[in-house]
Amino acid sequence: MKPGWVVLENVVQDRIGHAAFGTFAALLNFALVLASVSDLGLTQHTTKRVAAEPSFLPEYFPTVLPLRGALGVLFLGLMIGGGWLIGYRGHTLLLLAVIGLSLLLTQYAQFLRGAVQAHQHFNTDAWLSVLEKLLLFGLVLSLLPIGINLENYVGARTVAAAFTFVLLYALVTRLFGKLPWRPKCEHAGEMLRGSLPFALITLLYGMNERIDMLMVERLSSAQEAGYYAGAYRWVDAVMMYLWTVLPLFFAKFAYSLGNREEQKQLLWFGQRVATVPLLFVCAFVLFRGELLFFQYKHSSFEELQRMTWCAKLLFLNVLVHAFFAIYSTLLTSTNYERPVSWLVAASIGLNIGLNFVLLPRYGAVAGALNTLICAVAISAGYLWLVQFRAKIAVPWGWLVRLLVVFVLLCGGWYALQTWAALPWLIESVMAGLLFAGLLFAAGVVRVQELKSLLKRKQAAP
């Protein structure tokens, strides 16, 4: 779904305009920061309890269901009040309320899915996870021929969220029986005390990822926020690779807790798995970033150039994450959540400070640059914690080899553009062949490892 949605959202932004979409992106990200903690960690805590204690569902859900609903109403009020405080009025404030409502319905649906997951209904959960996006995809496609604007786009998102919520609530009732709403204060207090640590971490990470879009719109303009949103959409899609791979290493790091040698081997292996595929993607954007915006038929050359510069800076941020995000995974899986949280908080503070200084003058490009600076700073903190607090050897040799491969790839790509003047597809294929050769030449990928992997696959039943 993700690639299709990126393409479709590009069309939406092209049709409604950069300023309108920038306003939507800012409102959405403001709402996302609050919606991400609207349950104060109840979803994670409840899923954990339901999976571990069969008696939890009938005993606690009569309290948890209304508690979750009350928190949703409270946070919707906080969203609207917060929007008013930062300057939204009238029609824009109404849009924020509608966007906030749809997000809170989605969050409540994810909370209900926790019960489905905990009872091992994984196939059902898999269908539910894509239902809302499939429905929204269809609704947006149906709007394109008749004319899409900001209002009916927001309306389509709300309809999809509401339908999915009603369907999921009916399904949970069918699977587990009708659960009465009889809240008990002692149960509510117990659940909130257990869930608040999850809420703090979620808030920090949510702010770290979402604050830039809002600040670009507030401190520069909605138009600049639209440029940033157009570039960031591709970053979000590519980063799905890391968010798919890293949880696997999270589980393995946690399983090997107390065995530093095993953790070191996992880290050294994971360094290559996390980094290698993204090296080529980042190089492609640095040299052919303008191709990401081929769908923008109503944008000027200057607007496309601005989005391209944002994309290049943001993909340097992806490159930093490709090298160092696995260190955060190692730390959070081995009881170093608190120092990681402090690092994230410091990064947020640095980002906000830089935004106040640079955004009014340089707009979206400054937002992308500030994100890169903060990524470099927090990654240095991760390395220090792994080396000196966790006492696990950082694979400096692999880091140097991977960096050399990337630099040589960029040098080769520059030479192709400067002297060969090839069509972009042939140029990219040749750069890909160069990249593969560099990986083998630097020993990042080894023939013996590939032979061993092929033998294991052939031996598997």
Same domain, 173 and 266: no
Same domain, 238 and 343: yes
* Closest listed residue to residue 19, CA positions, set 208, 149, 140: 149
Give mean pLDDT, residues 164-185.
74
Higher-pLDDT residue of 76, 197: 76
Task: Take residue 265 and report the two structure tokens written for it.
Answer: 């081997």
> Does pLDDT of 454 surpass 60?
no
302-354, pLDDT tens digit by residue?
999 999 999 999 999 999 999 999 999 888 877 787 888 889 889 999 999 99
114-122: long-range contacts (C-beta < 8 A, 24 or more apart)?
114/43, 114/44, 114/46, 114/47, 114/50, 115/46, 115/47, 115/50, 115/57, 115/61, 115/172, 115/176, 116/171, 116/172, 116/175, 117/47, 117/51, 118/47, 118/50, 118/51, 119/50, 119/175, 119/176, 121/175
Whether 455 is in a domain gets the answer no
Domain final position from 162, 184, 219? 219
* 143 band by pLDDT with thresholds 50, 70 and 90: very high
Same domain, 184 and 263: no
Domain final position from 190, 219, 248? 219
> Does pLDDT of 458 surpass 60?
no
Average pLDDT, the chain: 85
* 365 band by pLDDT with thresholds 50, 70 and 90: very high
Q: How far is CA 345 from the centre of its chain?
A: 17
Provide the domain count of the chain: 2
Residue 187's pLDDT is what?
62
Same domain, 159 and 236: no
Whether 394 is in a domain gets the answer yes
Residue 457's pLDDT is what?
47
Give mean pLDDT, residues 128-150.
88
Residue 398's pLDDT is what?
92
Query: pTM of the full predicted structure?
Result: 0.88
Same domain, 413 and 306: yes
Residue 460's pLDDT is what?
47
380-439, pLDDT tens digit by residue?
999 999 998 888 889 999 999 999 999 999 999 999 999 988 999 999 999 999 999 999
Residue 201's pLDDT is what?
67
Same domain, 63 and 141: yes
> Does pLDDT of 192 surpass 80?
no
Q: Rounded to the nearest 10 degrees, how much is the dihedral formed by the CA atoms of 224, 225, 228, 234?
A: -140
Give mean pLDDT, residues 288-292.
95
Same domain, 213 and 236: no
CB 300, CB 323: distance < 8 Å: no
Give mean pLDDT, residues 74-80.
90
Same domain, 110 and 200: yes
Domain final position from 185, 219, 253? 219
Share of the chain above pLDDT 90, in %: 54
Whether 213 is in a domain gets the answer yes
Residue 207's pLDDT is what?
77
83-107, pLDDT tens digit by residue?
999 999 999 999 999 999 998 888 8
Residue 148's pLDDT is what?
93
Spatial distance between the Cα atoms of 21 and 160, rounded to a whole number of angstroms = 19
> Does pLDDT of 48 surpass 60?
no
Same domain, 361 and 379: yes
Whether 460 is in a domain gets the answer no
Higher-pLDDT residue of 289, 41: 289
Whether 459 is in a domain gets the answer no
Helices (H), 220-362: 222-238, 240-255, 260-288, 301-333, 337-362
Give mean pLDDT, residues 355-377.
94
Residue 461's pLDDT is what?
47
Give mean pLDDT, residues 141-170.
91
Give mean pLDDT, residues 47-74.
68
Same domain, 150 and 279: no
Whether 136 is in a domain gets the answer yes
* 455 band by pLDDT with thresholds 50, 70 and 90: low
Whether 456 is in a domain gets the answer no
Instruction: Write the CB contacts of 421 (distance below 8 Å, at least 6 apart in sequence).
Output: none
Whether 454 is in a domain gets the answer no
Torsion sign across C-alpha atoms 424, 427, 428, 429: positive
Same domain, 154 and 177: yes
> Does pLDDT of 238 surpass 60?
yes
Residue identified by tokens 């404030």 is: 93
Instruction: Write the CB contacts of 209 (distance below 8 Å, at least 6 apart in sequence).
Output: none
Same domain, 320 and 336: yes
Structural domain boundaries, residue 300: 223-446
